[in-house]
Amino acid sequence: MNPSATVAAAGAASQVSENTPPVALAGGVEYLYTRRLVGWATGPVAAGETLEVELLSDGVPVARAPVAQLRTDRPDPATGMATATGWEITLSPAVMDGKVHTLSLRRLSDGAPIEGSAKALLLPKGERSKPVEGHIDGFRGFMVGGWAFDPEYPEQPLDVELHCDGVAVARSRADVFRADLAKLGKNNGRAAFALRVPPHLYDGKGRVLTVVEARGGSPLKGATLELPHTRFQGAIEGTSGAAVQGWVQVVGNSTGGMAVELWIDGDLASSGHADQPREGGEGVRFHIGLPDKYLDGRVHELSLTSPDYPGIELAANAILLPCHLTPADALQRYAGFRYLRSYVSPLGPRRYESLRRGIADLASAAAEASSEADLRAICRDLVSLSHGQEQVIRSFISPVQRFTPLHFVPHATPDVSIVIPAHNKFATTYNCLASIAAARCQATYEVIVVDDGSKDETLDLPTIAPNVKVVRHEEAKGFVGASNAGGAAATGRYVVMLNNDTEVMAGWLDELLDPFTRFEGVGMTGAKLIYPDGKLQEAGGLIWANGQPWNIGRNGNPDDPRYNYTRQVDYISGACVMLPMTLWKELAGFDTYFAPAYYEDTDLAFRVRAKGFKTVYTPFCEVVHYEGVSNGTSTSGSGLKRFQAINEPKFKQRWTHAYRHNGKLGQDAPHVMQDRGVTHRVLVFDAQTLTPDLDAGSYSATQEIRILQSLGFKVTFVPANMAYMGGYTEALQRMGVEVLYAPFYFSMAEVVERRGKEFDLFYVARYGVAEQVVKTIRAQCPQTPIILNIHDLHFLREIREALQRKDMSHMNRATATRDAELAVMREVDLAITYSKVEEAVIVSHNLTSTRTGHCPWVVETATQVPPFAQREGIAFLGGFGHSPNVEAVEWFCRDVMPLLRARLPGVPFLIYGSKAPDSLKKLEDEDIVLKGFARTTEEVYDTARVFVAPLLTGAGLKGKVIGAFARGIPTVMTPTAAEGTGARHGLDAFVCTEPAEWVDALVKLYSDEAAWNAMSASARHLTQVEYSLEAGRKTLKEALHQVNVFPESDCHALWPLKLEL
């Protein structure tokens, strides 16, 4: 396993929000090493927080610890990756009395015992008698190898850490088998380790590394670990036959050769030399053979090193290695009349995903079918799905073509009209049509094929696909004329221009439509184009200042994060574009000035923008483009492709004024220049990938990103755990946010070092994240301002908890948190908070050493709410991994409910939220109901009659309270919950302290419809005024002005009209 990827996986495994389904509380005491006690634990925690355990010796508390150690021996069952489930405690000498004690665990937040954790251990007196043994063998490729062994605890493997400048940069367990260690009696040979050198250390600074035994902190002896005073760049480009090829360069030495080694999945696989000249660039090329055992048709991690520069990973890539050397197109061409396995094509995984989506859609339709006609239609669609998959696997170059009839459902008023120009080459057109028939979409559509003077089987299309509308040209008019004729025959609300040498995937039309409703002012959308070999053909296009067009990402990795977020572009290839029909007609389609073909699509995009609309690339519509099949690839000679050279000066003459400031080719980085409509760039760091449907912190962070976008910022987001989180990552990318994650980047520090100079601003969420990254930012980008959003003051919450519990040990921990939190704030340019109270607390401590500001909280205010009579019950919402929520519910049940029962008998208290501890389960009664996990907040806010927030401790603005205001459910809350909300007692909400006050307020709201309606309206008015998007934009602009960042008031930015949860 890639150790760096393990870190990302561990972060992903620990990412739990306050409203996620329950995680079982479990754990155990494992073993003692000198005075360090080691164990594990799992359990529910609130988003951004860490599970903490308390150790008991014979039932008496003796120590506590956070559960934060990476444990490779306790992998996540779903992913197989390591998890942060370990803890370590250094026992005090007073506890080490030479006697056997029963050690057990309980959760610190609420004292819940961890069943099965007890273990009897001898706690010996005195120091250890035998030192730790071990040795650093040296660099092995990009890894540091060696062994470590504890003679006092011979069966317990040791953890080791790689240190640089006194900071741990990698960690692993010394439990790998080595035969020589087995002969020496070192834990049956399982005592070796391998530590991966992190990429951010490859900076040419000659860093010196050390390896230490993690628990005792003692350094291991052995080889000196010094990285070279040299910087490198290079790439593993892919395979060529049974070999891997690429290039490498020592920075400053453009032609020097070197010996190189190829590592596959962490093992040395082969070696060779990089000594061939690299055409069109600096550096030297390599070509290294692959051993047979890796030729298995699977994806492997490949790394390149050099024995001349130990410890450095020169290049890396994840590549599908071949299981045969017959190209996929050759198999289609010469073996297509036999069965072909789908996985032999590089497109296999994408076709599988398309098939999966199609089958899931048909399964849903089958479940809802109400007649035999419905079932017959589903069977027909299933046949189309199967046939389409078989067709694209064989492709149009197969020696045997069977043009099985294709069925398309006719629609009188389709959502989309798909226009496909075709001139002969019917097998190509048929392949495209079969893929459309197989690609399930929610949008309805019609297909229009423009037969542009064909003489082949295209003439039989009305028989082969009877529901396809055919527009016939007796003489060819070229791509422009054919496309415009198809557009004139279209009846859909949107029109798609689709090349006939394409293959579409399930949901492709829905993805092209999405930006039109998600964003304002979109006039044209286009797809990610992929070559048949799986490489990226185009992720939108840009025009350089010299008028040269550029296919963004051409021949790159289609999964690279740089190419996988929605964004504005200069143009989109005409192979697949969508426009509203009204705009297509207003522009009169493609300009005949560029007839018969080439530059007409680029010109169309510029004309769309000249009308004030946006041209948007969406990576979620993936289309395979067999480029050149229709018109060839040569611009010389007599073919249609020659018009590319003819039309280039026409385009430049017309649009020089529009592209002359677009950056210089060969000087500016394409991935920096690829975004249109942005005026500033911000790098946002947060603890984890945002889950706005599950926790308030993620919700607010997503709204802040949305505001930044609306102010003209291109937003790049980095989770501290570097974890890709599926649909949650994609939700940000759909918003237009670039998200960086492993394996493309392995740490926040690496992102800053590689990309930091691109940004005008760093925006860091939470002080714990700032602790990890602020020093790196200051070292790499000393002039770029840093804004820290503290979310809430951890130390203020902890102090209130300590006072509530009368716990001095908890108070000591709170003061330590205070010192750390305030120290980080002194290192940034601006600390912002949602609460004016917390802002005052910061100033009172740090005085003038910290500049402070206000951070907006944005909610969507409901215009209509379910009425009083349709509601029932008094509701609370909150995750119970967060101890203040537990205390709040316990207090309400203990002190308020007995009085409330007498006044409102039978009215239930509905408790929503996951991870309810046993202490709450014991409180359940006929009128106290644990509802558990709520899928949406509307489930709570739109059904209960009154919302309560009886928080006794805590800090920061309470998102659940603002959410209740916005949904119009009257709220009763404590002063702690009301803090910073701006709510007026008796008007927007009731703010109560004593139980009797609570009961009076609840009775009034529950029984008096007029009072309920008045407070519902007043609360919504509050959120409309104070928590609207416009109010948030104003607040955040004021904060940006404090760090001398001045966004434009009116920009042409791309940002979502509403937050979709």
pLDDT 10s digits, 975-985: 999 999 999 99
The Cα diameter of the chain in Å comes to: 100
Residues 379 and 428 reside in one and the same domain: no
- Predicted pLDDT at 128: 63
- Predicted pLDDT at 120: 85
- Predicted pLDDT at 82: 65
* pLDDT over 90 at 345, yes or no: no
* pLDDT over 50 at 411, yes or no: yes
Pairing outcome for strands 786-789 and 830-833: parallel
CATH no. for residue 1002?
3.40.50.2000
Long-range contacts, stretch 271-276, CB < 8 angstroms, 24+ apart? 274/247, 274/248
| Higher local confidence (pLDDT), 271 or 58 | 271
Confidence of residue 836 (pLDDT cuts 50, 70, 90): confident
Beta bridge partners, 471, equal: 450
Residue 1034 located in a structural domain: no
Confidence of residue 731 (pLDDT cuts 50, 70, 90): very high
Residues 450 and 576 reside in one and the same domain: yes
Confidence of residue 168 (pLDDT cuts 50, 70, 90): confident
Once rounded to an integer, what is the mean pLDDT over residues 909-923? 90
Residue 939 located in a structural domain: yes
CA dist 617 to 304, 497, 513, Å? 34, 15, 11
Of 74, 99, 123, the last residue of a domain is 123
Residue 1050 located in a structural domain: no
Separation CA 441–CA 381 (nearest Å): 12
| Higher local confidence (pLDDT), 2 or 439 | 439
Q: Quick one: CA torsion of 284, 289, 293, 299, rounded to 10 degrees?
A: 40
58 three-state secondary structure = coil
- Predicted pLDDT at 12: 39
Tell me which of 47-61, 103-117, 147-161, 1014-1028 is least confident.
Answer: 47-61
* pLDDT over 80 at 19, yes or no: no
* pLDDT over 50 at 16, yes or no: no
Dig out the tokens for 545 from the structure. 């200042």
- Predicted pLDDT at 72: 66
Confidence of residue 80 (pLDDT cuts 50, 70, 90): low
Residues 881 and 1003 reside in one and the same domain: yes
- Predicted pLDDT at 632: 52
204 three-state secondary structure = coil
Dig out the tokens for 456 from the structure. 């082949």
- Predicted pLDDT at 223: 93
Confidence of residue 140 (pLDDT cuts 50, 70, 90): very high
- Predicted pLDDT at 326: 83
Residue 1037 located in a structural domain: no
Single out the residue of 98, 140, 105, 95 nearest to residue 30, CA to CA: 105
Q: What is the pLDDT of residues 714-727, one digit of tens each?
A: 999 999 989 899 99
Confidence of residue 88 (pLDDT cuts 50, 70, 90): confident
Residues 891 and 1011 reside in one and the same domain: yes
- Predicted pLDDT at 3: 36
Separation CA 262–CA 926 (nearest Å): 68
Q: How much of the chain, in percent, has pLDDT values that exceed 70?
A: 95
CATH no. for residue 469?
3.90.550.10
- Predicted pLDDT at 10: 36
Dig out the tokens for 942 from the structure. 């739109």
Tell me which of 412-421, 508-517, 925-934 is least confident.
Answer: 925-934
Residue 1049 located in a structural domain: no
Residue 9 located in a structural domain: yes
- Predicted pLDDT at 55: 93
Residues 455 and 475 reside in one and the same domain: yes
Once rounded to an integer, what is the mean pLDDT over residues 820-848? 93
Once rounded to an integer, what is the mean pLDDT over residues 722-751? 92
Residue 624 located in a structural domain: yes
- Predicted pLDDT at 8: 38
DSSP state of 983: P
Tell me which of 341-355, 629-643, 793-807, 868-882 is least confident.
Answer: 629-643
Residues 877 and 1005 reside in one and the same domain: yes
Which residues constitute the domain of residue 383? Answer: 328-402
Residues 651 and 693 reside in one and the same domain: no
- Predicted pLDDT at 179: 95
Residue 352 located in a structural domain: yes
Beta bridge partners, 470, equal: 449
Element (H, E) at 537: strand 536-538
Of 90, 105, 123, the last residue of a domain is 123
Confidence of residue 280 (pLDDT cuts 50, 70, 90): confident
Confidence of residue 1059 (pLDDT cuts 50, 70, 90): confident
Most confident among 31-45, 625-639, 828-842 (mean pLDDT):
828-842
* pLDDT over 50 at 132, yes or no: yes
* pLDDT over 50 at 834, yes or no: yes
Residues 847 and 940 reside in one and the same domain: no
Separation CA 18–CA 933 (nearest Å): 10
DSSP state of 201: G
Confidence of residue 127 (pLDDT cuts 50, 70, 90): low
Residues 332 and 311 reside in one and the same domain: no
* pLDDT over 70 at 7, yes or no: no
Residue recorded with tokens 């990412």: 15
- Predicted pLDDT at 15: 42
Once rounded to an integer, what is the mean pLDDT over residues 247-255? 83
Pairing outcome for strands 258-264 and 299-305: antiparallel
- Predicted pLDDT at 619: 97
CATH no. for residue 246?
2.60.40.10
Of 616, 651, 673, the last residue of a domain is 673
Once rounded to an integer, what is the mean pLDDT over residues 349-363? 89
Dig out the tokens for 965 from the structure. 């205001």
Separation CA 834–CA 796 (nearest Å): 14
Separation CA 145–CA 141 (nearest Å): 9
Most confident among 231-235, 370-374, 811-815, 1007-1011 (mean pLDDT):
1007-1011
Beta bridge partners, 303, equal: 263, 316
Domain count, the chain: 7
Separation CA 469–CA 412 (nearest Å): 12
Q: At what angle do helices 478-489 and 600-610 cross, to 10 degrees?
A: 50
- Predicted pLDDT at 398: 80
- Predicted pLDDT at 126: 66
CB 592 within 8 A of CB 644: no
Once rounded to an integer, what is the mean pLDDT over residues 527-552? 94
Single out the residue of 793, 347, 340 nearest to residue 535, CA to CA: 347
- Predicted pLDDT at 369: 92
Confidence of residue 59 (pLDDT cuts 50, 70, 90): confident
- Predicted pLDDT at 18: 41
Separation CA 850–CA 841 (nearest Å): 11
Mean predicted lDDT score pLDDT of the chain: 89
Residues 591 and 639 reside in one and the same domain: yes
Q: What is the pLDDT of residues 424-473, one digit of tens each?
A: 999 999 999 999 999 999 999 999 999 999 999 999 999 999 999 999 99
Residues 433 and 355 reside in one and the same domain: no
Tell me which of 152-161, 454-463, 893-902 is least confident.
Answer: 152-161
Confidence of residue 638 (pLDDT cuts 50, 70, 90): low
Residues 814 and 934 reside in one and the same domain: no
CA atoms within 13 A on the CB side of 239: 27
- Predicted pLDDT at 78: 61
